[in-house]
Amino acid sequence: MSRSDMSALPDAVFRSRPALGLPLLVSEISVLFRRRRTWAMLASLALIPVLIALAVRLTSSRPPSGRGPAFLDQVSQNGLFVSFVGLLVSVPLFLPLTVGVVAGDTIAGEASAGTLRYLLIAPAGRTRLLIVKYLATAVFCVAATLAVAIAGALIGVALFPIGPVTLLSGDSIAVGDSIVRSLLIAAYITVSLLGLSAIGLFISTMTDVPVGAMATTIVLSVVSQVLDSLPQLDWLHPWLFSHYWLGFADLLRQPISWDSFGSNALLQSGYIVVFGALAFGRFTTKDILS
């Protein structure tokens, strides 16, 4: 839709245009969280720590230390570790998977459902729609991470004893402190997923087939992690968006090492700006046919 079409609309429409697009954001988020798919994804994410906790609880033998994912051997002594293990396990695949689905669906989903042009006829500029779509994806990132962390904490409290948490450095911190650290880790992982969301948003503006955008986003997250594990490409590693994904362990050291948090935030903001600009270029110039 071009600008001349917009001028055909009565002035009242323009006057009633909200300044910040806040109602649009609210409606977008409510649409996202009214979908059964979103809840199914959040529920399956929450199931990961629950399954881990049940597996540890039901098997009598303690897992030998040094095998399986990190922290797993501590779960039986301290329930607070369930959410750490859950986050650790879901970072490489499950979280990118769900975020890829939501981010890939943003524009392509509207286009395939034929609702994109109605969204644009309603007084929502393309740029604003793009920003609102991205923010809704970011909200999903927060929700997805918290789903794992909170489900892990709850099942841990229910099944295992709770006590001071042993950090990687060997020091122990109180339960209250450990909750703060869990929230910091959740924040770290949310930030980690924002770059992928921006990539997904851009891919979503390129196609009218949401499944294609979702699959491409998820595949890219896997490709990035594979490249990150090849030592021959170490010059490329600091530029890969998945490079710091597992760096949240630095928040479990004493004193907290903020280096990877800072580098991660910088890297992800770079991805957001670059792919945000690409998505803006693509979405504001493309012909909306559906």
75: left (phi > 0), else alpha (psi -120 to 50), else beta?
Answer: alpha
Q: Please state, as a whole number, how many other Cβ atoms lie within 10 Å of the Cβ of residue 211.
A: 14
- Name the nearest CA neighbour of 285 among 260, 119, 247, 277: 277
Instruction: Tell which one of 22, 177, 223, 253 touches other proteins (CB under 8 A).
Output: 253
CB of 178 to other proteins, least distance (A): 13
Residue 30 or 284: which CB sits closer to other proteins? 284
Instruction: Tell which one of 30, 59, 65, 290 touches other proteins (CB under 8 A).
Output: 65
Confirm or reject binding of residue 277 to other proteins (CB under 8 A): yes
Confirm or reject binding of residue 83 to other proteins (CB under 8 A): no
CB of 29 to other proteins, least distance (A): 26
CB of 249 to other proteins, least distance (A): 5
Alpha-carbon distance 90 to 145, whole Å? 9
Residue 254 or 290: which CB sits closer to other proteins? 254
Confirm or reject binding of residue 169 to other proteins (CB under 8 A): yes
Instruction: Tell which one of 28, 73, 105, 110 touches other proteins (CB under 8 A).
Output: 73
64 prior amide bond cis, ω within 30 = no
> In this structure, are residues 92 and 225 in contact, taking their beta carbons and an 8 Å threshold?
yes
- Token pair for 246: 């597992």
Alpha-carbon distance 206 to 209, whole Å? 9
Confirm or reject binding of residue 88 to other proteins (CB under 8 A): yes
Confirm or reject binding of residue 61 to other proteins (CB under 8 A): no
Alpha-carbon distance 91 to 60, whole Å? 27
Residue 172: in which H helix or E strand, if any?
strand 172-173
Confirm or reject binding of residue 281 to other proteins (CB under 8 A): yes
Alpha-carbon distance 209 to 199, whole Å? 16
Confirm or reject binding of residue 63 to other proteins (CB under 8 A): no
**Binding footprint of other proteins on the chain (CB under 8 A):** 65-66, 69-71, 73-74, 77, 88, 92, 163-164, 166, 168-172, 229-232, 246, 249-250, 253-255, 257, 259, 270, 273-274, 277-278, 280-281, 284-285
